[in-house]
Amino acid sequence: MPSGSPGSMVPGSLAPQAGAAAQPAPAGSRVALLAPLTGAYAAAGPDIVNAVKLGLGPAAASLDILDTGSTAAGAAAAAQKAIAAGAGLIVGPLTDTEAGAVASVTQPAHVDVLSLTSDSNEARPGLWTLGITPAEQVRALVRAANAQGHGTIAGFLPTSPLGDAMGRALTTAVASATIQTYSPGSFGSMNSALRSLSGYASRRGPIDAQIKQLRGSHTVAGRQEAAKLRHEPIPPPPFNALLIAETGSGLGELATLMPYYDVNRGPVLVLGPGLWAANPASVAAAGFSGALFAAPDPAAATQFNGSYSAAYGAQPSPLAAIAFDAGAIARVTSAGGQINQSALTNPSGFTGADGVLVLNPDGTVRRGLAVFQVEAGGAQIIQPAPASLSAPGS
Question: Once rounded to an integer, what is the mean pLDDT over residues 209-230?
Answer: 68
Binned at pLDDT 50, 70 and 90, residue 13 comes out as very low
Whether residue 94 is predicted with pLDDT greater than 90 in this model: the reply is yes
Cα–Cα distance measured from residue 178 to residue 238, given in angstroms and rounded to the nearest whole number: 9
- Considering Cα of 103, then 19, then 368, then 49, what sign does the dihedral take? negative
Task: State the alpha helices, DSSP H only, in 267-316.
Answer: 280-283, 302-312
**What is the β-pairing status of strands 269-272 and 241-244?**
parallel
Please write the tens of the pLDDT for every residue from 163-204. Answer: 999 999 999 999 999 999 999 999 999 999 999 999 988 887
Question: Once rounded to an integer, what is the mean pLDDT over residues 225-241?
Answer: 79
Whether residue 7 is predicted with pLDDT greater than 50 in this model: the reply is no
Binned at pLDDT 50, 70 and 90, residue 128 comes out as very high
Q: How far is CA 29 from CA 25, 112, 165, in A?
A: 7, 11, 35
Whether residue 25 is predicted with pLDDT greater than 80 in this model: the reply is no
Q: What is the pLDDT of residue 265?
A: 87
| Cα dihedral value 234, 238, 239, 243, nearest 10 | -100
Q: What is the pLDDT of residue 186?
A: 95
Binned at pLDDT 50, 70 and 90, residue 214 comes out as low
Q: What is the DSSP string of 309-369?
A: HHHHSSPPPHHHHHHHHHHHHHHHHSGGGS--HHHHT-TT-EEETTEEEEE-TTS-EEE--
Enumerate domains of the chain plus CATH numbers: 30-132+301-363 (3.40.50.2300), 135-199+237-295 (3.40.50.2300)
Cα–Cα distance measured from residue 347 to residue 360, given in angstroms and rounded to the nearest whole number: 8
Whether residue 6 is predicted with pLDDT greater than 60 in this model: the reply is no
Q: What is the pLDDT of residue 22?
A: 42
Which one-letter DSSP state was computed for residue 288?
Answer: I
- pTM for the full predicted model: 0.85
Binned at pLDDT 50, 70 and 90, residue 20 comes out as very low
Task: State the alpha helices, DSSP H only, in the chain.
Answer: 45-56, 72-84, 96-109, 134-147, 161-173, 187-197, 200-216, 220-230, 249-260, 280-283, 302-312, 318-333, 341-344
Whether residue 157 is predicted with pLDDT greater than 70 in this model: the reply is yes
Q: Distance between the two ends of the chain, CA-based, in angstroms?
A: 20
Whether residue 211 is predicted with pLDDT greater than 70 in this model: the reply is no
Instruction: Kindly report the length of the chain.
Output: 394
Whether residue 2 is predicted with pLDDT greater than 70 in this model: the reply is no
